[in-house]
C-alpha cells in the first residue's frame, strides 16, 4: 500500500496524448458540450451503482439519494461536477483516464486530416467523453473512490494535459467522483450560475438523475449572494426521457438524449418512441444516427441498446435485441418483464427477449420505410451511411426480406449516376411492357459496371439495369431471388432470349428478317466458332454469337445456373477454390470478329482469339492469367495497324 499512496507521475498512452492535443487546440466550436459529457459520465456512474447494488446493497453505504452536484467558484476559477455513483479504484482510474480502450482508435486518429472543420466532424463520430474537460480547462483534478472500498482508498488524479498525469491515494469519505475543472483564463465566462443552468437544461434535462446547484438570487448583486444560505435545487427535470409521455417531449430533448445514449455529437436522423402494453410491457426509444460511427465495420465493436429493467440500468450494448444488419440503431429499451438480475447469457436464450426483438426489428424497419416515404433526402443520407449494412438484411432475416428489399437503393442505367437512389419500386414502375425480370450487373466499381459490354443491348433497347458495385451486392443478390414476384437476373448470366419483349415493335416481317439474319450468321460463323473453341481449348466452355453486343467485339457470360464471374472473384478472394469456364460471346457485326473468320494464318487466328477472350475478361474487371502476353500480342496488333497507317503494310 505504501507505494500506491505515494504520488506518482505517469505518461498518457500515445492515443490519449493525440486526443488531448486536439482538445487543447479547440476543435470545438461548441465548447459548452464539456458539461454534457461530464454529466453523462456521472449519470452512467449512478446507473452502474444502482445496478451493482441490486446484488450488493451495501454499496450504497447508507446513501441512496443519487444525484449530481455542480458547483463553481469564481475566485478559484473552478467548476466541479460531483457525483455519488460507482466511483473508481486506482486501477480503474489508470485504465479509464489514461488509456483509450476503444478498438480502432489508432485508425481513427490516423484518419484525422489536420483540417479543423473536417476533423470536427470526425471527432464527433468518435466521442471524446471525459477528455472534453480540456476544451475549457487547462488543469483537471479528479477525486474518486469506488463504492464499497474503504475511505483510505480514494484516488486523486490530476493532469495539465501535457503528456502526463499524477495519481495518488487519498482519503475520501464519500464514494463517487468529483471532477474539478480549472478553467483556462479565456473560458471564465462559464463561471456563471445562469449560464451553467442553461447548459444543464439544454443538454441534460432528461438524464435519469437530478442535477443540483446552489440556489442563487439572480436579482441581487454579486456581493449579497454569498450571504444567502447554500440551499440546493434541482435544475433539470431528472425524469428518464423514455418514461415521459411523447406529447411532452420536444425534438430538442429527443436529440440531446440521443447524444447522451449514443455518445454522439450530432443530432440523430430519426427516432421512434413506443410504449408497449399487453402481454409484455416495455418501452423503446430507438434512434437512427445521421452518421456512421468510425468503427461501424469493426467486428468486435460493442453494439446494441441500453437495457433497463423497471427503470434500473442493467447494461450497455445489449445486442440481443437487434440483428446484425441493424447494428447502427442506438437507443434504450426498458422492460417490465425481465428479472433485474438478468445476464447476457440469459438474454441469449429468452423467449421474452426473442419476442421483443422481433417487434423492435419491425419497428426499425417501419421507421425506415416511413422515412423513405416522407423525406427522401434524409433517407438517402441514411442510405449513404448505412446502406451497406442494411444490405446484409435479406441474408440474415428471411422473414423480413421483402420489407428490407423495399428499402434497398441502387445505381442504375436510368440516370447512370453513382448515387444509389433507385428503389426496386422505381425500377418496376419503369419496366417495359412484357418485362418480367429485374436486370442487374455486378462489378467491382461503379465505372466497371456502367461501362460493361453486357449493357450494350439493354441500353439500345431502353431496358433499365441496376448497376451494383458494392462488395456485398453479389452476396445480397444470392439471397434475394425475387421482389414483388419478379426474378432478379444478372445480365452476365445466360442467354438473351427473354429480351424479346424489349424489341421495337416494328413490323413482324422485320423481326422475322432479324431472326433469319441471325440464323444465317450462325451458319456463316459455324466453322469460325469451332476453330476459336479449339484455339482457346479449356479456357472457355463454349463460344457463340450474341445479339447482346452492339459496339464491343466480345464479352464473357456465365452459363445458366453458374456463378457470375464477379461472384467467382469474390469467392476466390475469400480463399475458396472456384473454377468455372465462361462462355465467350462474339458480336458478328464487329470488324475484328469478321476479320477472324477470314484469318487463315493459324498463329494469327490463335492470337486474335486469345485477345478477344482476354479483353472480354478485362472489361468485366477480371484478371488475366498471363497479362504480359496479352500486352505483347496487343502491341503487335497495334504495330500492325500503325505500319498500315504509314503505308508499310507487311
Enumerate binding residues for ligand ADP (CB under 6 A): 41-42, 45, 83, 85-88, 96, 127, 129-131, 177, 263
Nearer to ligand ADP, 177 or 283 (CB): 177
Query: Between 131 and 446, whose beta carbon lies closer to ligand ADP?
Result: 131
Axis crossing angle, helix 627-645 with helix 602-619, rounded to the nearest 10 = 110
**Residue 332 is placed in which grid cell?**
434504450
- Taking the least distance from each CB to ligand ADP, the nearer of 147 and 532 is 147
- The least distance separating ligand ADP from the CB of residue 256, rounded to whole angstroms, comes to 16
CB closer to ligand ADP, 163 vs 481: 163
SS in 3 state form for 319-377? HHHCCHHHCCCEEEEEECCCCCCCCHHHHHCCHHHHHHHHHHHHHHHHHHHHHHHHCHH
Phi/psi at 312 (nearest 5 deg)? -95, 130
How far is Cα 499 from Cα 481, in angstroms, rounded to an integer? 19
Cell numbers for 400: 423480413
Residue 473 CA to residue 386 CA, distance in Å, equals 14
* Phi, psi (degrees; rounded to nearest 5) at 102: -60, 130
- Give which of 393, 342, 336, 345 is closest to 369, Cα–Cα: 393
CB of 497 to ligand ADP, least distance (A): 59
**In which residue are the cell numbers 453523462 written?**
40
Give the nearer residue to ligand ADP in terms of CB position, either 106 or 348.
Answer: 106
Which residues, including other chains, have CB under 8 Å from residue 220's CB and lie 6 or more apart? 228
Least distance in Å: CB of 263 to ligand ADP? 5
Least Å distance, CB 64 to ligand ADP, is: 17
**Residue with the CB atom nearest ligand ADP in the bound state:** 129
Q: How far is the CB of 89 from ligand ADP (least distance, A)?
A: 10
Looking at the Cβ atoms of 52 and 426, the one nearer to ligand ADP is: 52
We find the least distance from the C-beta atom of residue 41 to ligand ADP, in angstroms, to be 3
CA nearest neighbour of 476 among 451, 446, 427, 440: 440
Of residues 130 and 501, the one with the C-beta less far from ligand ADP: 130
| Closest distance of CB 129 from ligand ADP, Å | 2
Helix axes 33-55, 251-262, angle to 10 degrees: 60
* DSSP conformational letter for 149: S
Question: Phi/psi of residue 130, each to 5°?
Answer: -55, -40
| Smallest distance from ligand ADP to CB 174, Å | 13
Burial degree of 412 (CB within 10 A; 0-12, 13-18, 19+): buried
Min CB(96)–ligand ADP separation in Å: 3
- 135 or 465, CB closer to ligand ADP? 135
Residue 290 CA to residue 268 CA, distance in Å, equals 5
Nearer to ligand ADP, 102 or 195 (CB): 102
User: Among 454, 460, 413, 445, which Cα is nearest to 616's?
Assistant: 454
State the Cα–Cα distance between residues 56 and 260, nearest whole angstrom: 27
In angstroms, give the least distance from the CB of 86 to ligand ADP: 6
Task: Yes or no: say if 195 and 153 are a contact pair by the CB < 8 Å rule.
Answer: no
Q: How far is CA 596 from the centre of its chain?
A: 51
Residue number, 92 or 470, with CB nearest to ligand ADP: 92
The span from the CA of 270 to the CA of 287, in Å, is: 6
Report whether 27 contacts 119 (CB < 8 A): yes
Residue 142 C-beta: closest distance to ligand ADP, Å: 8
Q: Which is nearer to ligand ADP, 123 or 596 (CB)?
A: 123
Shortest reach from residue 159's CB to ligand ADP, in Å:
13
* Helix residue ranges, H only, 56-163: 90-98, 105-111, 116-126, 133-136
Nearer to ligand ADP, 130 or 634 (CB): 130
| C-alpha triplet 86, 92, 95: angle, nearest 5° | 140
Amino acid at each position: 500500500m505504501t507505494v500506491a499512496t505515494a504520488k506518482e507521475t505517469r505518461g498518457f498512452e500515445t492515443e490519449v496524448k493525440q486526443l488531448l492535443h486536439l482538445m487543447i487546440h479547440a476543435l470545438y466550436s461548441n465548447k459548452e458540450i464539456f458539461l454534457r459529457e461530464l454529466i453523462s459520465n456521472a449519470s452512467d456512474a449512478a446507473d452502474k451503482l444502482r445496478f451493482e447494488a441490486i446484488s450488493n446493497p451495501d454499496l450504497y453505504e447508507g446513501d441512496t439519494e443519487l444525484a449530481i452536484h455542480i458547483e463553481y467558484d469564481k475566485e478559484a476559477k473552478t467548476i466541479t461536477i460531483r457525483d455519488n455513483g460507482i466511483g473508481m479504484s486506482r486501477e480503474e482510474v489508470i485504465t479509464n483516464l489514461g488509456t483509450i480502450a476503444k478498438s480502432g482508435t489508432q485508425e481513427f486518429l490516423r484518419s484525422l486530416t489536420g483540417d479543423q472543420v473536417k476533423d470536427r466532424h470526425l471527432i464527433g463520430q468518435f466521442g471524446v467523453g471525459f477528455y472534453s474537460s480540456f476544451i475549457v480547462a487547462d488543469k483537471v483534478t479528479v477525486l474518486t473512490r469506488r463504492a464499497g472500498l474503504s475511505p483510505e482508498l480514494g484516488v486523486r488524479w490530476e493532469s495539465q494535459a501535457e503528456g502526463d498525469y499524477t495519481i495518488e491515494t487519498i482519503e475520501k469519505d464519500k464514494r463517487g467522483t468529483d471532477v474539478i475543472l480549472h478553467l483556462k483564463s479565456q473560458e471564465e465566462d462559464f463561471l456563471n450560475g445562469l449560464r451553467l443552468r442553461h447548459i444543464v437544461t439544454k443538454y441534460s434535462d432528461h438524464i435519469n438523475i437530478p442535477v443540483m446547484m446552489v440556489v442563487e438570487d439572480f436579482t441581487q448583486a454579486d456581493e449579497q449572494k454569498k450571504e444567502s444560505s447554500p440551499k440546493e435545487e434541482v435544475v433539470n427535470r431528472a425524469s428518464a426521457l423514455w418514461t415521459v409521455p411523447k406529447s411532452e417531449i420536444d425534438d430538442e430533448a429527443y436529440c440531446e438524449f440521443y447524444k447522451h445514449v449514443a455518445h454522439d455529437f450530432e443530432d440523430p436522423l430519426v427516432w421512434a418512441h413506443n410504449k408497449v402494453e399487453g402481454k409484455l410491457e416495455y418501452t423503446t426509444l430507438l434512434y437512427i444516427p445521421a452518421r456512421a460511427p468510425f468503427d461501424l465495420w469493426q467486428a468486435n465493436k460493442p453494439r446494441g441498446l441500453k437495457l433497463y429493467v423497471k427503470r434500473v440500468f442493467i447494461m450497455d450494448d445489449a445486442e440481443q435485441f437487434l440483428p446484425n444488419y441493424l447494428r447502427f440503431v442506438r437507443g434504450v429499451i426498458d422492460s417490465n418483464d425481465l428479472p433485474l438480475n438478468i445476464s447476457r447469457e440469459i438474454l441469449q436464450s429468452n423467449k421474452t427477449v426473442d419476442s421483443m426483438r422481433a417487434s423492435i426489428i419491425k419497428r426499425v424497419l417501419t421507421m425506415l420505410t416511413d422515412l423513405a416515404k416522407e423525406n427522401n433526402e434524409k433517407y438517402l443520407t441514411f442510405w449513404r451511411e448505412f446502406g451497406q449494412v442494411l444490405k446484409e438484411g435479406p441474408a440474415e432475416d428471411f422473414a423480413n426480406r421483402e420489407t428490407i428489399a423495399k428499402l434497398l437503393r441502387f445505381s442504375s442505367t436510368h440516370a447512370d449516376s453513382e448515387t444509389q437512389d433507385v428503389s426496386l419500386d422505381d425500377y418496376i414502375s419503369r419496366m417495359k411492357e412484357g418485362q418480367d425480370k429485374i436486370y442487374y450487373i455486378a462489378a467491382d466499381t461503379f465505372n466497371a459496371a456502367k461501362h460493361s459490354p453486357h449493357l450494350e443491348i439493354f441500353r439500345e433497347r431502353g431496358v433499365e439495369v441496376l448497376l451494383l458495385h458494392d462488395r456485398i451486392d453479389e452476396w445480397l443478390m444470392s439471397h434475394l431471388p425475387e421482389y414483388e414476384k419478379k426474378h432478379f437476373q444478372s445480365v452476365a448470366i445466360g442467354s438473351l432470349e427473354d429480351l424479346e419483349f424489349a424489341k421495337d415493335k416494328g413490323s413482324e416481317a422485320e423481326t422475322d428478317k432479324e431472326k433469319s439474319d441471325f440464323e444465317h450468321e450462325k451458319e456463316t460463323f459455324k466453322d469460325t466458332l469451332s476453330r476459336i473453341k479449339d484455339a482457346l481449348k479449356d479456357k472457355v466452355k463454349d463460344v457463340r454469337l450474341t445479339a447482346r453486343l452492339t459496339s464491343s467485339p466480345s464479352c464473357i457470360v456465365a452459363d445458366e445456373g453458374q456463378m457470375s464471374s464477379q461472384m467467382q472473384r469474390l469467392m476466390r478472394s475469400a480463399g475458396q477454390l472456384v473454377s468455372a469456364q465462361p462462355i465467350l460471346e462474339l458480336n458478328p457485326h464487329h470488324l475484328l470478329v469478321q476479320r477472324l473468320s477470314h484469318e487463315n494464318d493459324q498463329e494469327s487466328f490463335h492470337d486474335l482469339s486469345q485477345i478477344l477472350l482476354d479483353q472480354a475478361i478485362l472489361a468485366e474487371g477480371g484478371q488475366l492469367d498471363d497479362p504480359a502476353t496479352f500486352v505483347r500480342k496487343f502491341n503487335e496488333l497495334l504495330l500492325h495497324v500503325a505500319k498500315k497507317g504509314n503505308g508499310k503494310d507487311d
